[in-house]
């Protein structure tokens, strides 16, 4: 005896399992990557010594007596990201204010399309433009022998983080209740005062989320940075050729072997830790924002 209800129940159950499987597949990938990075990254750190690895100032992986210190890469990534945030966030935030509050529909449409396009441009194109336009420009503007340095990388990164900063801040600003703004305007505040004293503070947690997302994008970028930063393992200075954590892995991976290769995995592990921490902060910021509302 066949019961139609039973077959549909079975189908429901089967589909449930399929959905759950697909859901957990994402988790599986994260676990796999984590496990892989830890397993392949830890041995070299052990062999080199964690202090020598994290705080060593010299990276000479192919020298007769190799040295594997990545302090310069870590500091470069931190400074580069900080620089990109300092330049990119104010521009992105003000663009978001313009989109959400100041513009009429037509202009906003044009700007928004441009921002969307900006986020779709592959990073190698940013790198190429940086290499052909920004690097020579920086060289001439600051009268340097060479323009491939931390400063050029910061400029490229600042442009690259704009789309995520703009779209997330815009959403946050739009979510501020209209009453706040109206009350401020009714009390005689100008539009600019209202934006900076009322709207932006009210959208604080959303804007912080945008900043953290920007940090994540900037610290993980490899291709564009590799083409404009010069890639020499120097301690970072604004007008000096530098190597980021990402480019350190990317530029040597193809032909490395032995301890050198393992050390590259260790660098990837350090980078992964950075991104993990950034994501934890992001979660914290978002949760706190929800609590306040």
Partner 1 sequence: MKKFMTMLLAVGISAAALAGCGGTAGTTNGATQTVSTDGSTSMEKVIGYLSEAYMAENSGAKITYNPTGSGSGIQAVSEGRCDIGLSSRDLKPEEAETLDATVIAIDGIAMIVNPQNPVSDLTIEQIGKLYTGEIANWSEVGGGDAPVVLIGREAASGTRDGFESITGTEDACKYTQELTSTGDVVQTVSTNPNAIGYASLASVKESVKLLSVEGITPTTETIQNGTYKIQRDFVFVTPKNKELSEAAQSFMDYATSEAADEMIEKAGAVPIKR
Report the residue number, 26 or 186, with the smaller CB distance to partner 1.
26
Report the residue number, 103 or 251, with the smaller CB distance to partner 1.
251
> Should residue 123 be labelled a site residue for partner 1 when binding is judged by CB under 8 A?
no
Residue 54's alpha-carbon distances to 38, 67, 270, in angstroms, are 16, 12, 9
Interface residue with partner 1, options 148, 160, 212, 268 (CB under 8 A): 148
Q: With CB under 8 A, what is the number of residues at the site for partner 1? A: 39
Q: Which residues 77-116 are close enough to bind partner 1 by CB under 8 A?
A: none
Choose the stretch contacting partner 1; rule: CB under 8 A; options: 83-91, 183-191, 223-231, 281-289: 223-231
Choose the stretch contacting partner 1; rule: CB under 8 A; options: 19-27, 191-199, 202-210, 211-219: 19-27
Query: Closest approach of Cβ 110 to partner 1, in Å?
Result: 33
> Should residue 131 be labelled a site residue for partner 1 when binding is judged by CB under 8 A?
yes
> Should residue 241 be labelled a site residue for partner 1 when binding is judged by CB under 8 A?
yes
DSSP string, 131-180: IIIIHHHHHHHTT-S---SHHHHHHHHHHHHHHHHHHHHHHHHHTS-HHH
172/38 Cα distance (integer angstroms) = 37
> Should residue 43 be labelled a site residue for partner 1 when binding is judged by CB under 8 A?
no
Query: Closest approach of Cβ 153 to partner 1, in Å?
Result: 12
> Should residue 22 be labelled a site residue for partner 1 when binding is judged by CB under 8 A?
no
Contact 246, 169 (CB under 8 A): no
Contact 240, 216 (CB under 8 A): no
Report the residue number, 184 or 231, with the smaller CB distance to partner 1.
231
> Should residue 239 be labelled a site residue for partner 1 when binding is judged by CB under 8 A?
no
Choose the stretch contacting partner 1; rule: CB under 8 A; options: 7-15, 35-43, 178-186, 273-281: 35-43
218/109 Cα distance (integer angstroms) = 26
3-state secondary structure of 100: helix
- Compute CA 168 distance to the chain's CA centroid, rounded to the nearest angstrom: 14
Residues in the chain: 293
> Should residue 37 be labelled a site residue for partner 1 when binding is judged by CB under 8 A?
no
> Should residue 10 be labelled a site residue for partner 1 when binding is judged by CB under 8 A?
no
Contact 218, 85 (CB under 8 A): yes
Contact 112, 282 (CB under 8 A): no
Report the residue number, 214 or 230, with the smaller CB distance to partner 1.
230
> Should residue 143 be labelled a site residue for partner 1 when binding is judged by CB under 8 A?
no
To the nearest 10°, report the CA torsion of 74, 75, 79, 85. 30
**Residue 180: is it exposed, middle or buried by C-beta count within 10 angstroms (0-12/13-18/19+)?**
middle
Interface residue with partner 1, options 36, 55, 142, 196 (CB under 8 A): 36
Which residues of this protein are in contact with partner 1, per CB under 8 A? 20-21, 24, 27-28, 31-32, 35-36, 39-40, 60-64, 131-132, 135-136, 139, 145-148, 226-227, 230-232, 241, 243, 250-252, 254-257
């Amino acid at each position: 005896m066949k019961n139609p209800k039973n077959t549909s129940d079975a189908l429901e159950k089967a589909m449930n399992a399929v959905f759950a499987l697909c859901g957990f597949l994402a988790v599986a990938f994260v676990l796999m990557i984590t496990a892989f990075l830890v397993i392949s990254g830890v041995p070299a750190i052990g062999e080199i010594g964690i202090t020598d690895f994290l705080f060593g100032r010299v990276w000479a992986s192919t020298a007769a007596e190799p040295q594997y210190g990545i302090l310069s890469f870590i500091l470069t990534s931190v400074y580069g990201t900080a620089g990109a945030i300092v330049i990119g966030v104010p521009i992105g935030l003000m663009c978001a204010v313009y989109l959400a509050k100041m513009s009429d529909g037509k202009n906003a449409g044009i700007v928004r399309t441009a921002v969307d396009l900006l986020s779709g441009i592959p990073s190698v194109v940013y790198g190429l433009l940086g290499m052909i336009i920004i690097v020579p420009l920086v060289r001439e503007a600051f009268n340097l022998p060479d323009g491939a340095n931390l400063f050029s990388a910061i400029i490229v990164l600042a442009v690259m983080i704009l789309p995520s900063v703009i779209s997330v801040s815009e959403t946050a600003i739009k979510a501020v209740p209209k009453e706040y703004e109206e009350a401020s305007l009714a009390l005689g505040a100008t539009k600019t005062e209202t934006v900076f004293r009322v709207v932006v503070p009210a959208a604080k947690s959303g804007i912080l989320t945008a900043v953290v997302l920007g940090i994540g994008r900037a610290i993980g970028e490899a291709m564009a940075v590799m083409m404009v930063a010069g890639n020499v393992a120097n301690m970072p200075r604004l007008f000096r050729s530098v190597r980021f954590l990402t480019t350190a892995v990317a530029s040597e991976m193809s032909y490395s072997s032995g301890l050198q290769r393992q050390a590259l995995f260790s660098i990837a592990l350090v980078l992964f830790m950075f991104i993990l921490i950034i994501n934890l902060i992001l979660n914290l910021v978002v949760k706190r924002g929800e609590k306040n509302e």
